[in-house]
Amino acid sequence: MTEITAPKSPVTADQFADEIREQLKYTQNVTPEQATAADVYVAASKAVRNHLADAWFKTQADTVNGNTKAVGYFSAEFLMGKQLENALLNAGLTDQFDSAVEALGFQPKDIIDAEYEPGLGNGGLGRLAACFIDSLASLGVPAFGYGIQYKYGIFKQTFDENGKQVETPDYWLNNEEPWGHIDYNRDQKVSFGGEVVEENGKKVWKPAWSVRAVPVDYLVPGYKSQRVNTLRLWTAKSYDEFDLLAFNRSEYMDAVKPQVKAENISKILYPEDSTKVGKELRLEQQYFFVSASLHDAIRVFYPGQDKPDLTTFPNKITFQLNDTHPVIGIPELMRILIDEYDYDWDTAWDITVKTFNYTCHTLLPEALEVWPASLIGELLPRHLEIIEKINEQFEDELKGKGVADETIERMRIYTGDSVRMAYLATYGGSHVNGVAALHSQLLKDMTLKDFSDVYPAKFTNVTNGVTPRRFVKLANPGLSDLITEGLGTDKWLSDLELLEGLAPLAKDDEFVKKFAAVKAANKHAFVGFAKDHYGLDIDENTMFNTMVKRLHEYKRQSLKILAVISKYAAIKNGTVSADDILPRTVFFGAKAAPGYYLAKMTIQLINNVSKVVNNDPDVKGKLAVHMLPNYNIEMAQNLIPATELDEQISQAGKEASGTGNMKFALNGALTVGTLDGANVEIRERVGAENFFLFGMTVDEVEKLYADGYDPAKYYEADPRLKQAIDLVANGTFSNGDRNAYAPLVADWLTKDWFMTLADFSAYADIQAEIEKLYRDPLEWNRKALLNVANSGFFSSDRSIEDYLERIWHTGPLA
């Protein structure tokens, strides 16, 4: 038996340089003189990984041998961001790295930048999963992230000469990827199709085809916890590498078909974001990673046992279902227990319900996944049978509880035609949580009301959070140093509520000025970043105003661009005097799902407004607009610390939480926002006087829908809005072409489902308040500092502690 040793003690810079040289020599096969930044990046990454190995082994051993229940976080997305810098921080090797690469003749930043960002997620949901596994490791909680290693992550976004979004595949694995270790020896077989037959009174699934799920292991180092957890992402391989018979007949294409079919499963991340996409391949992906992961967890916790006692499984691990994507895991665990391990139905159900919990990340009922029963039947016939039986049991249970027939009808998991995954998850797990207080309340009142009426105890809230290591320490070293100076300790990085200690310093003008200087330096740095990356010339003496997030109608990028257009018109018309104009630079960053027509048109409009405004000498120095291409984690880490005003302007009741809002507040931006998602809690904590609130509330929105909403009325009522929309309609931003944005204009004037027009006046009005405060830098920065001081609650460490207490009922390893 291998002795499990303590983690390797920190090395000196010289030793670390030698370790990098060794990697260059023996794994990269280059001399230090030949090495490029990319070589040094790979070598340094492997050297760091080696440092983490002992702690990783120890964490695994303690996880299996100890009596602390582990967490399995099932997520179709993990949007990790670049790894090296974070791994260095958490391994305590940052200083050694800096000196070592300098000794090798490189700049540390060039080595960090040489990493290609993996984009295995769409947006907030995927980034949340990444923050959560960072926090789990940092808190010392044994955990596995389980997901898919997509060969192509979220598409790369560029814009064509007309400002339209162009998507190109993201070939992230084209470069050497030093973090994931592919472990061919711990593979799992995942099967599909075929039929279910009866043999000796037992149902037996005879699948038609199988793929080989091979794990790729990523180390997840905790910050100062000496713990390293595992992110296990599955990649699909074919069992029939090559059909030799077909090949001999020279049918090259046919020869590789089985391989292509199997490997397609892990080929692409669906580029959707909180929308339901009913695609066969997507269900295959979901089942693929969930089935492999469940078998993997049994292998890990019952090593070498043919007949393990799986009634103890819920004491070993608890699975969190990140949205509906992994919910097929519920019937899969039932199948494993009944068909593979001979448990009776009731025992299997008891184990399953105890093992799973579900997080819902949406409020749009149409975004909850519903699968056609025929598709499940074709792909997973045994699972469909199990789902039918679960539904029967469920309906009986509801009848037993005296639930009315029409309510039962509404609640059915299996309707005969389709399977509602959110309902299956709610019934088949122990807890359901929303991701912000308002969202959890609305889940209970609206989206999952029937379920909450019958099973109130299952429902709880866990407000999202973000990791301060990546989004403050790495993204904003200047602010981090100032915080440490202000608090006299850097302990806030593991206990973010300590930031409260900064609140008294908001009264100290000298400290506030230092805080303002950090922001100015971050703006300056971003100007350099934007020049290098996009060739932009940005005036750092303007207010930096940012809206970055996926492009969605409900998020209302339209509202922002209409306000920008209105401001442009006011400057052009001379409605505002030159002295009254507060110079602003507006940044947008947003990817639209490739098939989302209006979202893509909105991007095109923003790009073309940008062209017109930025080239108009009349507004030079007063207003600039930039649609930055390919918003990703790297851009977030650079832009958020430089931002002064953040936009969180979704229609109330539509954004489940948002997590960008938390990152901005923690980096000292003020928010202009609606009472939606986590904005509500941010405002409560930072203080209403330090938050620019506008717009309708959820109740007002609901009332307006009920009364009948007519957007044209608002267009007529506010001349600023009318003028902005008219400028879009009359071709000002399309070289005179009046048709270019006709569908968008028509939608605004006749439908406007998310009530952009109804909120426009309030939004335009609050700009005066924003600008007034901005003209007083000391007051602005005082408020921004109070945002930082009071946002410690929004650490993902706190979210994880809430999950531990309310849902998982486990804790750190001893």
Q: Is 555 a catalytic residue?
A: yes
Q: Which one of 115, 170, 369, 655 is in contact with ligand GL2 (CB under 6 A)?
A: 655
Q: Residue 688 carries which DSSP code?
A: G
Task: Give long-range contacts, CB 8 A cutoff, 24+ apart: 180-185.
Answer: 180/149, 180/216, 180/217, 180/218, 180/233, 181/216, 181/217, 181/218, 182/214, 182/215, 182/216, 182/235, 183/214, 183/215, 183/216, 183/217, 184/214
How many chain residues are in contact with ligand GL2, going by CB under 6 A? 18
Q: Shortest Cβ distance from residue 657 to ligand GL2 (Å)?
A: 4
Question: Which C-beta is closer to ligand GL2: that of 607 or that of 657?
Answer: 657
Q: 361, 444, 473, 584: which is the annotated catalytic residue?
A: 361
Q: Which one of 273, 332, 634, 797 is in contact with ligand GL2 (CB under 6 A)?
A: 273
Stretch that binds ligand GL2, among 37-45, 373-381, 649-657, 796-804 (CB under 6 A): 649-657
- State whether residue 171 is helix, strand or coil: coil
Can you tell me the distance from the alpha carbon of 139 to that of 133, in angstroms, rounded to the nearest whole number? 10
Angle at CA 120, nearest 5°, toward 384 and 62? Answer: 80
- Whether the CB-CB separation of 564 and 733 falls below 8 Å is answered with no
Per CB under 6 A, 677 contacts ligand GL2:
yes
Q: Shortest Cβ distance from residue 284 to ligand GL2 (Å)?
A: 20
A 10 A CB-CB count for 377 gives 17
Q: Which one of 426, 542, 657, 690 is in contact with ligand GL2 (CB under 6 A)?
A: 657
Helix (H) or strand (E) holding 671: strand 670-673
Q: 426, 467, 659, 810: which is the annotated catalytic residue?
A: 659
Question: Which C-beta is closer to ligand GL2: that of 119 or that of 123?
Answer: 123
Stretch that binds ligand GL2, among 409-417, 505-513, 653-661, 766-774 (CB under 6 A): 653-661
Can you tell me the distance from the alpha carbon of 241 to that of 509, in angstroms, rounded to the nearest whole number? 69
Q: Shortest Cβ distance from residue 552 to ligand GL2 (Å)?
A: 8
Beta-strand ranges (E) seen in 142-227 are 143-148, 156-159, 165-168, 181-182, 188-192, 195-199, 202-206, 209-221
Q: Which one of 51, 325, 361, 622 is in contact with ligand GL2 (CB under 6 A)?
A: 361
Stretch that binds ligand GL2, among 54-62, 560-568, 654-662, 794-802 (CB under 6 A): 654-662
**Looking up tokens 């320490």, which residue turns up?**
473
Q: 237, 549, 591, 783: which is the annotated catalytic residue?
A: 549
Contacts of 327 (CB under 8 A, 6+ apart): 286, 321, 358, 369, 421, 422, 424, 425, 428
Per CB under 6 A, 188 contacts ligand GL2:
no
Question: Which C-beta is closer to ligand GL2: that of 115 or that of 273?
Answer: 273
Angle at CA 788, nearest 5°, toward 783 and 792? Answer: 140
Among 122, 112, 146, smallest CA distance to 42 is for 112
Site for ligand GL2 in 389-408 (CB under 6 A): none
Stretch that binds ligand GL2, among 16-24, 138-146, 634-642, 656-664 (CB under 6 A): 656-664
Site for ligand GL2 in 94-153 (CB under 6 A): 122-125, 128
Question: Which C-beta is closer to ligand GL2: that of 429 or that of 658?
Answer: 658
Q: Which one of 138, 362, 632, 679 is in contact with ligand GL2 (CB under 6 A)?
A: 362
Q: 51, 282, 519, 663: which is the annotated catalytic residue?
A: 663
Q: Which one of 148, 627, 656, 666 is in contact with ligand GL2 (CB under 6 A)?
A: 656
**Looking up tokens 């003008």, which residue turns up?**
509
Q: In the stretch 452-471, what mask flags binding to ligand GL2 with x, by CB under 6 A?
A: ------------x-------
Can you tell me the distance from the alpha carbon of 503 to that of 520, in angstroms, rounded to the nearest whole number? 21
Q: Shortest Cβ distance from residue 234 to ligand GL2 (Å)?
A: 21
Question: Which C-beta is closer to ligand GL2: that of 348 or that of 662?
Answer: 662
- Whether the CB-CB separation of 519 and 813 falls below 8 Å is answered with no
Can you tell me the distance from the alpha carbon of 519 to that of 527, in angstroms, rounded to the nearest whole number? 12
Q: Is 659 a catalytic residue?
A: yes
Q: Shortest Cβ distance from residue 748 to ligand GL2 (Å)?
A: 23
Q: Which one of 76, 112, 379, 435 is in contact with ligand GL2 (CB under 6 A)?
A: 435
Angle at CA 261, nearest 5°, toward 260 and 266? Answer: 85
Q: Which one of 83, 149, 230, 274 is in contact with ligand GL2 (CB under 6 A)?
A: 274
Buried b (16+ CB within 10 A) or exposed e, 121-149: bbbbbbbbbbbbbbbbbbbbbbbbbbbbb
Q: Shortest Cβ distance from residue 483 to ligand GL2 (Å)?
A: 25
Q: Shortest Cβ distance from residue 463 to ligand GL2 (Å)?
A: 10
Q: Shortest Cβ distance from residue 180 to ligand GL2 (Å)?
A: 23
Q: 21, 316, 444, 555: which is the annotated catalytic residue?
A: 555
Q: Shortest Cβ distance from residue 562 to ligand GL2 (Å)?
A: 22
Give how far Cα 480 sits from Cα of 95, 135, 500, Å.
Answer: 16, 18, 14
Give how far Cα 715 sits from Cα of 688, 746, 755, 765, Å.
Answer: 30, 12, 11, 15
Q: Is 620 a catalytic residue?
A: no
Can you tell me the distance from the alpha carbon of 607 to that of 300, in angstroms, rounded to the nearest whole number? 51
**Looking up tokens 């209409």, which residue turns up?**
562
Question: Which C-beta is closer to ligand GL2: that of 426 or that of 659?
Answer: 659
Instruction: Name the residue whose CB lies closest to ligand GL2.
Output: 124
Q: Shortest Cβ distance from residue 685 to ligand GL2 (Å)?
A: 17
Can you tell me the distance from the alpha carbon of 42 to that of 83, in angstroms, rounded to the nearest whole number? 11
Site for ligand GL2 in 312-341 (CB under 6 A): 323
Q: 49, 431, 470, 550: which is the annotated catalytic residue?
A: 550
Residues that bind ligand GL2 (CB under 6 A): 122-125, 128, 273-274, 323, 361-362, 435, 464, 655-659, 677
Residues tagged active-site: 361, 549-550, 555, 659, 663
